Amino acid sequence: MMETLNLVLFAIEAVAYFALMVTLLHFRHRLGLGVFLTALGVMHFMETYLAAVFYVSLPFGDVSPGSSVFFSGKLMMILMLYLQEDAATVRQPIYGLFLGNLLTVGIAWVLQLHLPLQMSPDRTPDVDFLKEMGWLMVWGTALLYVDSLGIILLYEKLGDFFRRRVVLRFLISGFVLLTFDQIGFFAALNYFLDVPIAAFWAGWKAKMLAVCLYAAMFAIYEYRIRRGGAAISARSISDVFGDLTFRERYNDLLERTGRDMLTGVYDRTRMELEAPLMLSEALRQGLFTTILILDADHFKDVNDGYGHLQGDEVLKAIAARLGTTLRSSDRVFRFGGEEFVAVCPGTGHEEGLLLAERLRWTIETSVGTPDGKPVTVSIGVATADEDGADFTAVLAAADGRLYAAKKSGRNCVVGRPREAKFS
């Protein structure tokens, strides 16, 4: 009876964790990405502590929710963060956790030099425990870094075999990397705390169960909410306070200047002002900038077959997918008609091709005409400074590759001739 109750609680914890974290991720453009990253990071100590000392009995053995529910959920959230942002964004919280944990160990060593007072008869400072937890967290974060790289690379590699089956790729990636993590983290638990081998197998089974739960919820989110829902506004929560003062109202009005009235993205005039500055600033910092130019295939047929109002809805849907798939640091502009330009600073050509393919696939699978036919796009990709050192040259290169994508049959991505072409 107790084991069954614990199993039910296990599932409830997984659902609650996923629901909260995916809500923060989904509304990151309104709340700010920092809210999601902070929530992801502050639980790291609790996960490690629970994995060290807190175990419950399930039908298949004794497991720790800290490892099987919360750490597994963190790794799957990191994969979801990558799918909606990029690998550079994923690295930031992991670096922060790793450095913070090293700081914890260092402080614990310094605290040993103090002679602490016992302010309560029932409370004695336990610096050894703090050091022990610090080293466990350092090891766990190092594993998390390897896990994160591995799960992203495996997810992308599985795209060669299951390009359209994102949930299956999500599931397999979780199975493989959490198995690796269970081996690595259990070794530390066994070394530091003498956790028995039986806990390894029970913990592995619990992690596999957790991945199944997370994959099921990921499928619901991906197909029912993110792609089927309304477009997310890029307006941040701080804009609410812009109504309180004249200065902030002025800043808000300035931000809205240069917006395309139909789609809400920036217009071509704003692109001609901002894009060259974004590119030159990135080059000054030694970073690549990739430009994507995207064109809706056979868009005239949509207008002719369903009317211009329905054509407008298709353009708004495409713009919404661009807004939810690209990073918050990227900029999207309506170039004219059914063409959009995305400027992605800090993005190399290979990463830009992957991003463009993700955009192409997302639009094909989530934007359609009233009779259910998918709307597809062709995308040209170019990168500074490999394709030019100024915005005009790079945009011209991307435009030429868009034309090549159209000639190649549409619904594809074309980059530099030596790069692989996705179709």
- 208-264 pLDDT tens trace: 999 999 999 999 988 777 655 433 333 333 433 333 344 444 445 445 568 888 998
Q: What is the pLDDT of residue 86?
A: 65
Q: Write out pLDDT tens, residues 107-126.
A: 767 877 777 777 777 777 77
Q: What is the pLDDT of residue 52?
A: 74
Which residue, among 69, 56, 72, 66, has the nearest Cα to 5 in the 3D structure? 56
What secondary structure, in 3-state letters, does 343-402 show?
EEECCCHHHHHHHHHHHHHHHHHHCECCCCCECCEEEEEEEECCCCCCHHHHHHHHHHHH
Task: Compute the distance between CA of residue 260 and CA of residue 270 in angstroms, rounded to an integer.
Answer: 10
Mean pLDDT of the chain, nearest integer: 83
The answer on pLDDT for 170 being more than 80 is yes
* Pair 415, 381: CB distance under 8 Å: yes
Q: Write out pLDDT tens, residues 19-73.
A: 999 999 888 877 888 888 888 888 877 887 787 778 899 998 888 898 899 989 9
Task: Compute the distance between CA of residue 152 and CA of residue 29 in angstroms, rounded to an integer.
Answer: 23
The mean pLDDT value for 74-103 works out to 78
Q: What is the pLDDT of residue 29?
A: 76
Q: What is the pLDDT of residue 230?
A: 37
Percent of the chain past pLDDT 90, that is, above it, reads 43
Q: What is the pLDDT of residue 298?
A: 93
Q: What is the pLDDT of residue 127?
A: 67
* Pair 388, 398: CB distance under 8 Å: no
The answer on pLDDT for 87 being more than 70 is no
Domains and CATH numbers, the chain: 2-226 (no CATH), 254-414 (3.30.70.270)
Tokens of 374: 């998918």
Q: What is the pLDDT of residue 10?
A: 92
339 Cβ contact partners less than 8 Å away, ≥ 6 residues apart:
293, 294, 295, 296
Q: What is the pLDDT of residue 205?
A: 93
Percent of the chain past pLDDT 70, that is, above it, reads 87
The mean pLDDT value for 362-369 works out to 93
Tokens of 262: 């139909």
Classify strands 289-296 and 331-336 as parallel, antiparallel or unpaired: unpaired
Q: What is the pLDDT of residue 226?
A: 63
Q: What is the pLDDT of residue 234?
A: 38
Lowest model confidence (mean pLDDT) among 158-162, 343-347, 413-417:
158-162
Which residue, among 25, 28, 72, 24, has the nearest Cα to 51 in the 3D structure? 72
Q: Write out pLDDT tens, residues 329-340.
A: 899 999 989 999
Q: What is the pLDDT of residue 242?
A: 38
